[in-house]
A and B are shown apart, each in its own frame.
Chain A
Amino acid sequence: MPPEDHKAPAELPRPGHSRRDFLRGSSLAAAGAVMATSAETAMHEARADVSEADGVEIFSGSCPIELKVNGEAMSVTIEPRSTLLDTLRNRLNVTGPKRVCDRASCGACTVILDGDAVYSCTTLAISCTGHEVRTLESFETDEGSVPQSFLQNDALMCGYCTPGFVTACQAWLEKNPGKEPTLDDIKQGLDGNICRCGTYIGVFQAALDAAKAMKKGGA
């Protein structure tokens, strides 16, 4: 990381409020760690339309950004505090990733950011400008694909956690091409996801089958 990414929050020029205040106000302090240069620039440039009503601090403000989602360039106006998950779901109508825990505990919101599986509920949207976001809506669905493998193994019940599991599985397979995982590999790879219906047994088999199909397909 270039040194400018490590500027102390107080040094960030921002009208009205420091980034530290902003983070405190939006309860997203944990997400600060993932802020990249582009994000800080976008924040800095944000036209912070800050209203302050007698001691109640309001941190709204609009911030037009460009996002690349599933290969498509999208313009969207967000707030600096908007998460990637909320931006996808509430502003871009990309509702595949689900909001469940909203604090990086369950994995239902998993997306692939530049090839890495990340929790979109604790990733700020502005930190994603200039990066590639992929959601499960962009995955292949034909024979041997991860979604198809989930279907064949009944690796879903209510299905609300399924997008996260499918995405984590896809990301794992892409990171480990040609590898035939063991059951333990699969369990470790999917340990960031939680299912309340208890479909794990089907999910494990789906992941094993998808890995086998991927290897066979030479992908």
Chain B
Amino acid sequence: MAALWPDNPRLIGEGVPRLDGLAKASGRAKYPSDERPDGVLFAVVLHSPHAHAKIVKIDTSKAEAIPGVKGVHLIANEGATLRYHGEEIAAVAAESEEIARDGCRAIAIEYEVLPHAVTEAQAVADGAPQLTPRGNTQAGRAQEDGDPEAAIKEAAASIEGEYSVPVITHVCLETHGQVVRWDGDTKMTVWASTQNVDGVESEMAGAFNVPATDVTVLTPVMGGGFGAKFGADTWGVAAGELAKKTGKPVWLFLDRIQEHLTAGNRPSASAKLTLAADKDGKITALIAETAGTGGISRGAAFPLPYVYEVPNSRRQHTDIRINGGNARAMRAPGHPQGCLIMESALDDLAEKMGIDPLQMRLNSLAEQDTVPSGAGEPLNRSEIYRDQIKLGAEAIGWDQRKPRSENAKASGPLKRGFGMALHQWGGGGRDDKQVTCIINPDGSVELRSATQDIGTGCRTVLAQIAAEVLGLNTTDITSNIGNSQFPPGQASGGSTTTPSMAPPAYNAALEARDLLFKRIASALDAEPGDLEIGKGVILVKGEREVPWKEACRKLGTMPINVTGSFSEGLTAQGVGGCQFVDLTVDTETGVVKLNKIVAVQDTGLILNMMTWKSQVYGGVIMGLNYGLFEELVMDPSTGLCLNPDMELYKLAGASDIPAIDIIPFDNEQMRKRGVIGVGEPPTIATAAAIGNAVANALGTRVPNFPMTPMNVLNALAKA
């Protein structure tokens, strides 16, 4: 089918309130963690109290003897090595959560505590404990372009810099977990807080050796994932084991401490680099040694050079393992790190050369950076960036910006600064997902897909598309998602959900409409080609209006049930954006106060302006947290995480939110590209822009993120 999105849409692009918004705002929406099936038992996970230890002996008999404890499941056995504070050891199911916690405390374990390395410095130090047989560090192959040494020699100017950002964690508000109920020996119902309904289904089916069709994963709504909730996880399987053992449904969600320690993190990043430019202020060369840790797992690589064209570059990256929880994808994996390192260095070089950093960015964009445009000719993203930068600079008041040297000389402790940064992301859809559209004889319309709504409004957007095609209101459509028994749905990752699911929803609605026309035409004394969709009516020969419900009644008893697939031309990929920050730093306290953030973002065809804006605001605020507050703190001496909570792991509250100006880069050309996806891109550049604004305000670079009072004052002390 060669359908394209409609030229003059009635609903697409409008701000339509969420279908499940009132249920969420009135407490009636049932999240997986709210499910309490009859006879439910509550399970609690026991985790490692040590950074590195061997389990010598484990005795669960006392736990099993506690009245109310119904089952104990060992995740790690005697002889197992625990590699970080928080690694799972066992799970206990009991009549109440309180008793399950008692059960965990009653498990007697003898540990052989091993030496640990919980910081990158500890892991690379001489005599560090070896965390894997292959060592603690793993160097990637050097990436090289051109001749960076020669280019640096010929450059008009260069800087040498060091920048770093620590490990942070997702802090999904609904913790990871599932409720598992066995229905007989092979059938299983799983209420999972996941961004990957189909993935959890196959994982659970594999773990228990039952057919995937016998596993039903339900995720009607879920409380945030940000990349951490793709799998069933060891504790999900433990819930299944306990449910099997006890014959009762088992509720198992991590507590906040475990969530912080074991449910995923965004790796740290650091770089020691040389950046050089020619006399016109165009970047010509980059040499970088980079490193990062994702904890006990790998995955700390990030893109560099980032966004800009650097003809001569060499980069050597090293992944470092420590005794910490595993890295997991986190909103635009790698990009926030690459962005803040590249953008910090670029800003410092512009400062050294006395060039406006905005101009230096324009100079250093590639001449041709082509991205697909959906149905038409490819687009040059560099031109899009130029337009976006113009819009953003005007909205923040970039002309008020003064060079660092001038700000540093300003009197008084309060210094104002401006900063900016650019980012990019892929997005785009997958072609193997489906949506079913059902039109019932009573006129009700239902969409079905296994995909889930991670909070972006997927349920609403799909209904909006069907409503557009069928001439109905969004609220007339029932959008049933989050059920693994429905047609295959996209996992919510990479900003691919909407671009993967919107085309099949559109095609399903179009096919359902055509089939409806075919089935009811004769009953309306017409040919299928005589029928058209009007608003809430079927138009016969452009004149007679038959109300939607009356027309559907002509279907008799057989509903229309069609499944739509992907088709070309409805999506594209490759977006960009820029962000600007205006802030004030108190040089006596080190406190950074944001005055305003401007975010300009393109994402192709925007389906729902209201939920789109919410996502961009949300991305910016997550970036704000990354720039100002977040850091997972490990204690070098004990090896324990010091802030697995929401008090000492700081996140922005209401008073930390500045004015935020969102500018959708939305024009005819963008709309023609089709749907792309916006979850990730707007979170990338914020921290980088904040860091640059802080450097601009202070007259000196704060090289270590986040921009906490400690890091700011440390940088001032060294300046």
Chain A residues with a Cβ under 8 A of chain B? 49, 51, 53-54, 56, 58-60, 79, 81-82, 86, 89-91, 93, 95-103, 105-106, 108, 135-137, 139, 141, 146-148, 150-152, 154-163, 166, 186-188, 190-204
Contacts and interface: CB of A to CB of B under 8 A. Distances in A.
Interface residues of B, number: 67
A163 B174 CA distance: 13
Given A194-B646, A194-B651, A198-B622, A158 B224 contact: yes
B595 interface: no
A160 B25 contact: no
B18 interface: yes
Contacts of B66: 51, 53, 58, 60
Given A49-B67, A58-B66, A154-B18, A191 B655 contact: yes
A203 B255 CA distance: 27
B455 interface: yes
Interface in B55-106: 62, 65-68, 96-99, 102, 105-106
Interface string B152-172: 000000000000000000011
A90 B253 CA distance: 13
Given A157-B456, A159-B223, 7 more contacts: A60-B99, A154-B614, A159-B221, A160-B174, A197-B614, A200-B654, A204-B654
Nearest to B108: A56
B647 A202 contact: no
Interface in B212-241: 221-224, 226
Contact of B651 (A79, A135, A196): A196
A100 B256 contact: yes
Interface of B: 15, 17-18, 20-22, 24-31, 33-34, 36, 42, 62, 65-68, 96-99, 102, 105-106, 171-175, 221-224, 226, 255-256, 454-457, 610-611, 613-615, 617-622, 645-647, 651-655, 657, 660
8 contacts: A53-B65, A56-B106, A98-B33, A106-B173, A154-B611, A194-B646, A197-B455, A199-B618
A100 B173 contact: yes
Contacts of A51: 66-67
A58 B63 CA distance: 10
Contacts of B221: 158-159
A145 B454 CA distance: 26
A97 B28 CA distance: 10
Given A60-B102, A197-B455, A90 B224 contact: no
A79 B18 contact: no
Nearest to B621: A198
Contact of B171 (A136, A188, A196): A196
A144 B249 CA distance: 40
Contacts of A96: 26-28
B188 to A, nearest CB: 22
B27 A197 contact: no
Contacts of B657: 187, 200-201, 204
B66 to A, nearest CB: 6
A198 B618 contact: yes
A113 B624 CA distance: 34
A199 B614 contact: yes
A135 B102 CA distance: 29
Contacts of A204: 654, 657
Contacts of B67: 49, 51, 60
Contacts of A191: 653-655
Nearest to A168: B654
Nearest to B102: A58
Contacts of A192: 653
A103 B20 CA distance: 29
Contacts of B68: 60
Contacts of B613: 154
B62 A160 contact: no
Which 10 A/B pairs are nearest by Cβ-Cβ distance?
A96-B27, A198-B621, A160-B223, A158-B455, A159-B24, A198-B618, A95-B34, A157-B455, A147-B25, A151-B21
Contacts of B618: 157, 197-199
